[in-house]
Amino acid sequence: GQQVMQIPQYQHVQEGEDFTTYCNSSTTLSNIQWYKQRPGGHPVFLIQLVKSGEVKKQKRLTFQFGEAKKNSSLHITATQTTDVGTYFCAGASGNTGKLIFGQGTTLQVKP
Amino acid sequence: DGGITQSPKYLFRKEGQNVTLSCEQNLNHDAMYWYRQDPGQGLRLIYYSQIVNDFQKGDIAEGYSVSREKKESFPLTVTSAQKNPTAFYLCASSTLAGGYGYTFGSGTRLTVV
């Protein structure tokens, strides 16, 4: 079945350093979504990418969707302590709306 | 305020008992989902429903059951057949195409004692 792999599993950075998490799917995706889960909380939708090669920015966050629509990345510039949490990518294939989540990358930021 | 509500927040179950987790949404979303979250394993899909009175198994449906009698409600029953039920359970809803992402509830933490 479809699998979505995400690396790294954990990342510890000093505040101000950059951070990147990568997501790879075993199949071509119709879209990919990114979520953030704060410690003790629930996942919150960040963004959806649909087009091949698409790049979207939200302040210090940059999201990319690969040309083959099988991989994606999230890059955070100059991390802050408020960025702490687990970032999940989730891929959809077809038009069912059903998402397969990656394992997540847990980000720790040292002040 | 539109949203999705899960209850209870914490639930303790004795081995051999069935328990039902509640999930209600007032977002007028057609699709609803149940995920299980374990440390280091991300979110795994248990069941999903795209229309009332219809639902499909996800990747880990064994030991679970659901119903979708109303658009707003998608309760999950964890049966005694589920061998390792201790986990964090998340309910979510979305439009059918999912273009605006999933809205998640705050989750139910189930512990078997």
**Smallest CA–CA separation between B24 and chain A, in Å?**
16
Report pLDDT for B83: 87
pLDDT for position A96: 67
Handedness of CA B58, A89, B70, B89 (dihedral sign): positive
Task: For residue B98, give the nearest of A1, A97, A102 by CB distance.
Answer: A97
Question: Is residue B102 over pLDDT 70?
Answer: yes
Selecting from A9, A48, A96 the residue whose C-beta is nearest the C-beta of B40 gives A9
CA distance A6 to B27: 30
Specify the pLDDT at position A95: 66
- Residue B108 vs residue A1, higher pLDDT: B108
Indicate if the pLDDT at residue B47 is higher than 70.
yes
* Closest Cα in chain B to A89: B42
pLDDT at B42 over 70: yes
Please choose, from the candidates A78, A72, A82, A100, the residue with its C-alpha nearest in 3D space to the C-alpha of residue A7: A72
Q: How far is CA B53 from CA B5, B11, B70, in A?
A: 20, 27, 8
Q: What pLDDT score was predicted for residue B113?
A: 86
Name residues whose C-beta falls within 8 Å of residue B52's C-beta, 6 or more positions apart in sequence: B68, B69, B70, B71
Distance, CA of B93 to CA of B70 (rounded, Å): 13
Count of pairs with CB atoms under 8 A, one residue in A, one in B? 61
Q: Is B107 left (phi over 0), alpha (psi -120 to 50) or beta?
A: left
Q: Do A97 and B95 touch (CB under 8 A)?
A: yes
On chain A, the residues whose CB falls within 8 A of the CB of B41 are 103
Judged by CB atoms closer than 8 Å, whether chains meet at A42 and B105 is answered as yes
- Per-residue pLDDT of chain A in tens (111 residues, 90 and over written 9): 778 999 999 999 999 999 999 999 999 999 999 999 999 999 999 999 999 999 999 999 999 999 999 999 999 999 999 999 999 999 987 766 788 999 999 999 999
